[in-house]
């Protein structure tokens, strides 16, 4: 008999206060409490974290890479959104 699947979780860790949580990996656990404990035991053994999020992997909705053009390329031409688009005379100094 094949081994039944245990739900998969994605783990996010805040390494220092002031930083955002960052995806560090995944694990298997039957519920959220065990997932959080496992995340602590697996991903913070070397003092990597101050805060942990665990999210069921199937709760993540991801963009489709094949729609990359439609999703992301239109932003590339909007160069006026970036400060370097604008000329400020050198005499003005840092702005």
Partner 1 sequence: MTAANIKVSETPLVLYALRRADDALILGHRLSEWCGHAPAMEEDMALANMGLDLLGQARELYAYAAKVEGRDNDEDKFAYLRDVRQYRNLLLLEQPNGDFARTMVRQFFYAAFADLYWRAMMKSSDPTLAAIAAKSEKESAYHIRHSSEWIVRLGDGTEESHRRAQLAIDDLWAYTGEMFAVDDSERGLIDAGIAIDPGTLKAQWQKTMTSVVNEATLALPKSDWMQQGGRSGRHSEHLGHLLSELQSLQRTFPGATW
Partner 2 sequence: MYTQALNSSDGDDRGIEDAARAAAFQARIDDDERIEPNDWMPAAYRKTLTRQISQHAHSEIVGMLPEGNWITRAPSLRRKAALLAKVQDECGHGLYLYAAAETLGTSREELVDLMLSGKAKYSSIFNYPTLTWADIGTIGWLVDGAAIMNQIPLCRCSYGPYARAMIRVCKEESFHQRQGFEIMVTLCRGTEEQKAMAQDALNRWWWPVLMMFGPPDKVSQHSDTSTKWKIKRFSNDELRQKFVDATVPQAQFLGLTIPDPGMTQNESGNWVYSEIDWAEFNQVLAGNGPCNRERLAARRKAHDDGAWVREAAAAYAEKRKARLLAQAAE
Question: What does the binding site for partner 2 look like in residue numbers (CB under 8 A)?
Answer: 2-6, 8, 24-31, 34, 42, 45-46, 62, 64-66
Closest CA to 52 of 79, 75, 34: 34
Nearer residue to partner 1 within complex by CB, 46 or 81: 46
Contact 29, 7 (CB under 8 A): yes
Nearer residue to partner 1 within complex by CB, 28 or 68: 28
User: Could you say which of 45, 46, 78, 94 contacts partner 1 (CB under 8 A)?
Assistant: 45
Neighbours of 85 (CB within 10 A): 9
């Amino acid at each position: 008999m094949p081994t039944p699947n245990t739900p998969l979780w994605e783990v996010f860790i805040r390494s220092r206060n002031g930083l955002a949580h960052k995806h560090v990996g995944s694990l298997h656990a039957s519920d959220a409490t065990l997932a959080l404990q496992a995340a602590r035991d697996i991903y913070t053994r070397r003092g990597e974290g101050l805060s942990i999020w665990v999210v069921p992997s199937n709760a993540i909705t991801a963009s489709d890479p094949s729609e990359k053009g439609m999703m992301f390329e239109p932003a590339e031409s909007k160069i006026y959104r970036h400060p370097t688009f604008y000329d400020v005379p050198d005499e003005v100094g840092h702005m």
